[in-house]
Structure 1
Amino acid sequence: MQFVRNLESFILEKMSQTKIPGIAFGLLKDGELFYSKGFGFRDVDSANAVTPKTLFHIGSVTKSFTALSIMKLHENGKLSLDDPVGKYLPIDLNVKGVPVTIHHLLTHSSGIPALAYAEAYIRGYFEVSENWLPISNPEDVISFMKDYEDWVVSKPGERFFYLNEGYVLLGLIISKVLGIDYKEFVKKEIFEPLEMERTKFCDEEILKERDIATHYVHDKNGNLISRKPILGITSDGGIVSCVEDLSKYISMMINRGVYKGKKILKEENIELMEKCHIRLPYHTFGNDSYGYGWMIHPNFLNRKLIGHGGSVLTHNTYAAYIPEEKIGTIVLSNVAGYSPSYIGMYALSLLLNGSPEKLPFLKYENILKKLEGKYETYKKTMTYYVNKKGDNLFVEYKDKFSEFSMPLFFEKEENNLFIFNTISSGRRINVEFGIDGDEIWMIVERYKFKKVRG
């Protein structure tokens, strides 16, 4: 099947380019898992393969489970989304005189910028940073946050600031309301009815697992370095799962809160989770927003895409679905490389018989690929190189006595004319590229260059 060939070729190409040892992938159609496959190794040293049952740490995809749990309590009258956080927890969250509510935490709109507890904890745990934060339980996050006042930026509800700490507080609110541990509630009310038998939290239990992907980081030379599984994260990013289990969760969301006849949440509350509550400050497709535990892309190929990524620095995840089409995808990887969200969106585009090359990120990738190379002026009087580093192009020059490297920032494209800008000697300047048939040229200030090789 051409669809499968195109998809698998794309995945393997990106794994090779960004040195990803293993990926687990799943695709849902008509609300059911219809294609799943493991690519590469869950552990390189033992050469054990990834399968759809292989466990990965799903990171912030956990937030949708926490939001779903809050919505179940809201549905059952246990709490109100407008309740202030201080009603349940010993922390006074009043931002610019306005109480922060459960709704504000769900939508990352408290007005508090990211305090980076998770970044410090994870990077310290994996020994890749000197910034170490010893957080041993969720209550420690409350203590960590208590000096937040001097860091607030806006009133609640006005601005999106992704706040891991807020979802830790939501987990604590669930525990406070019910009198049981957050993890026990999620297991009983979500994992068990959805038959997610391999799904668990990142505590000592996962150390007994055999079919779990090894955590890897890349060193400065691109070599793979293994790391032990991270423990101790909870309601903001602590779930460990696999493609087969996550497909059941996505199926439930696609089928409006129902799985095999079991109602997990009312349809109206599923739709409330998928509502565009606050606009994101960055846009891939236009009008991208945040709901309750999900990113909302209302203009993905003229459909509404619901999705979320997750990362614990090593394992990276993307889970998404399009309700109206009853399709979805899950992508799990065991090192930071090519974005799982790009793989997932590529797959959904193929499934919709679309043109993946028109997706903004692929279009940008293809532009950079075309423009990379060696450039020369008239009669080879000067030579510049255009090199891709990360997601950006750099114009570079080097001789025996000097060298420079200018980053280029994409601005716009008009009829095969590509405008970038950069800073030179304190001035903002444009760098233009043009494509005329097989010829590619570049203008930097007073010089015109032509590409002579890739």
Structure 2
Amino acid sequence: MIRFLLLLLLPAMAVAQIEKAELAIQHLIDSGKAVGIAVAVVKENKLVYSQNFGYKQLESKTQLSNTDIFRIASISKSFSATAILQLVEARKLKLSDDVSELIGFRVRNPRYPDKVITLEHLLSHRSSINDRQGYFTLDAINPAKNPNADSCYNTYAPGEGYQYCNLNFNMIGTIIEKYSGERFDQYVKKHILDPLGLYGGYCIDSLDASRFATIYEYVNDTIGFRASPGAYAPRSEEIRNYTMGYSTPVFSPTGGMKISAIDLARYMMMHMNYGKSNRKRLISQKHSRLMQTPLSAQENYGLALEKTTRLITGKELVGHTGSAYGLYSAMFFDPAEKWGIVVISNGCTPRYAEGYNAVIRSVIEQLYAGIIKAD
């Protein structure tokens, strides 16, 4: 429907450019480089285009549709950061707070025991924490639970280096839960998804399973794609035995959001407009800008959002990527020019170009040329 409305409003030359982009994207499916690709495009601060290519379910050749939802992997981190900043604005937290005091056990790099690891350090991956002991449970870094917890820390001091770390954001999710008094998945639904009118969430059992797009991992050129059932493992037993303020990694605040491409684009518009969308302000302009501001020139990473000039030549974009279980996703936008692109593939070849998945990067380039640049 959105594609149909867009085509009615555009001149013939622009329609031809879009159709050229669509043929290029469809070729990625036909050539075996991707199972399915869902896209959504915002232009001039409006959601102008959405389309789906390929398959929701490869074995049955079920086509993708606009209502299908995906586990979007690490783009999920921006939802957790948004939630934290809401709690900061409610004066329940400060970005300078000591994580040890917030989480309830000692979080200190043993090489720098007097150096506080702060909430901001977690949000920016500057905590000196790594994923060496895993990140699916807080036991990994809790010294009372893991005698090897010291190996969760790098050799540099907190705030003096950068390493992307999933454990950082599973700890963030736990802190959200402890200081909001709401279970993590329910907090995000109530305070982020519902105000924007979006369908999605972190809890598998709370979502319509018929809407899940099966995720496929690319094994090799001979075998091709293989389904990854772990992507939507409900973890129902763990949830039944849930401990508030500790079991939070069950929901994967670091990567477990399930949402459609269209609704992710609507969420993206909130960040594009510095915390406000659909007449709803979720976070202040100040904190939204902070999320988008890199803390050092070396990594261009702010608080769960990064800046890049490596996707579209001559354009500085803000956003995040995701990859897990074979899925690849990207959400990038230009807050000044008010355009953005969401691309989600439920399985594509894992080759990279300029630091980004080559299939996802190609689709972004095609959509930019066919829609954003089109007159």
Confirm or deny a common fold (TM above 0.5): yes
Task: Give the Cα–Cα distance (whole angstroms) in 2 for the partners of residues 57 and 255 of structure 1.
Answer: 24
SS in 2 for 1:252: helix
- Aligned CA distance change for structure 1 residues 204 and 45 (closer, same or farther; 3 Å): same
The question of 1:306 aligning with 2:318 is answered: yes
Q: Letter of the aligned partner of 2:321 in structure 1? A: G
| Residue 32 (structure 1) aligns with | 46
Q: Letter of the aligned partner of 2:306 in structure 1? A: M
| Residue 125 (structure 2) aligns with | 108
Task: Report 1 or 2 for greater relative contact order, CA contacts < 8 Å, sequence distance ≥ 6.
Answer: 2
CA deviations over 1:191-229 (Å, ceiling 9, x no partner): 0001002x12143334x4212211212334233222324
CA contact (8 A) 1:23 1:38 kept: yes
SS in 2 for 1:278: coil
CA contact (8 A) 2:294 2:300 kept: yes
CA deviations over 1:24-60 (Å, ceiling 9, x no partner): 1111112221110010110022221111221111011
| Residue 155 (structure 1) aligns with | 157
* 1:407-418 correspondence to structure 2 within 5 Å: none
| Residue 211 (structure 1) aligns with | 211
* 1:350-361 correspondence to structure 2 within 5 Å: 350=369, 351-353=371-373
| Residue 340 (structure 2) aligns with | 328
| Segment drifting more, 249-258 vs 265-274 | 249-258
CA contact (8 A) 2:320 2:331 kept: yes
Task: Give the Cα–Cα distance (whole angstroms) in 2 for the partners of residues 241 and 146 of structure 1.
Answer: 38
| Residue 187 (structure 1) aligns with | 189
* 1:263-412 correspondence to structure 2 within 5 Å: 263-280=281-298, 289-297=300-308, 301-337=313-349, 339=357, 341-343=360-362, 345-347=364-366, 349-350=368-369, 351-353=371-373
Task: Give the Cα–Cα distance (whole angstroms) in 1 for the partners of residues 132 and 334 of structure 2.
Answer: 32
| Residue 421 (structure 1) aligns with | none
CA deviations over 1:140-171 (Å, ceiling 9, x no partner): 45447763424422111111100100100001
Q: Which runs of 5+ in 1 are unaligned?
A: 119-134, 281-287, 355-454
Identify, as 1 or 2, the structure richer in helix: 2
Taking structure 1 as the reference length, what is the TM-score of the superposition?
0.67
- Aligned CA distance change for structure 1 residues 341 and 39 (closer, same or farther; 3 Å): closer
Task: Give the Cα–Cα distance (whole angstroms) in 1 for the partners of residues 297 and 159 of structure 2.
Answer: 10
- Aligned CA distance change for structure 1 residues 320 and 145 (closer, same or farther; 3 Å): farther
Task: Give the Cα–Cα distance (whole angstroms) in 2 for the partners of residues 347 and 141 of structure 1.
Answer: 42
Q: Letter of the aligned partner of 1:109 in structure 2? A: R
- Aligned CA distance change for structure 1 residues 264 and 347 (closer, same or farther; 3 Å): farther
Taking structure 2 as the reference length, what is the TM-score of the superposition?
0.80
Task: Give the Cα–Cα distance (whole angstroms) in 1 for the partners of residues 178 and 147 of structure 2.
Answer: 19
Percent identical: 25
SS in 2 for 1:7: helix
CA contact (8 A) 1:84 1:102 kept: yes
| Residue 227 (structure 1) aligns with | 228
- CA-based RMSD of the aligned residues comes to 2.3
CA contact (8 A) 2:35 2:54 kept: yes
1:10 to 15, 24, 46: 24
Task: Give the Cα–Cα distance (whole angstroms) in 2 for the partners of residues 116 and 41 of structure 1.
Answer: 36
Task: Give the Cα–Cα distance (whole angstroms) in 1 for the partners of residues 297 and 130 of structure 2.
Answer: 15
Structure 1 residue 322, shift from structure 2 partner: 0.7
Task: Give the Cα–Cα distance (whole angstroms) in 2 for the partners of residues 149 and 274 of structure 1.
Answer: 31
Length, aligned pairs only: 327
Q: Which runs of 5+ in 2 are unaligned?
A: 1-14, 234-249, 351-356
CA contact (8 A) 2:173 2:253 kept: yes
Task: Give the Cα–Cα distance (whole angstroms) in 2 for the partners of residues 23 and 237 of structure 1.
Answer: 19
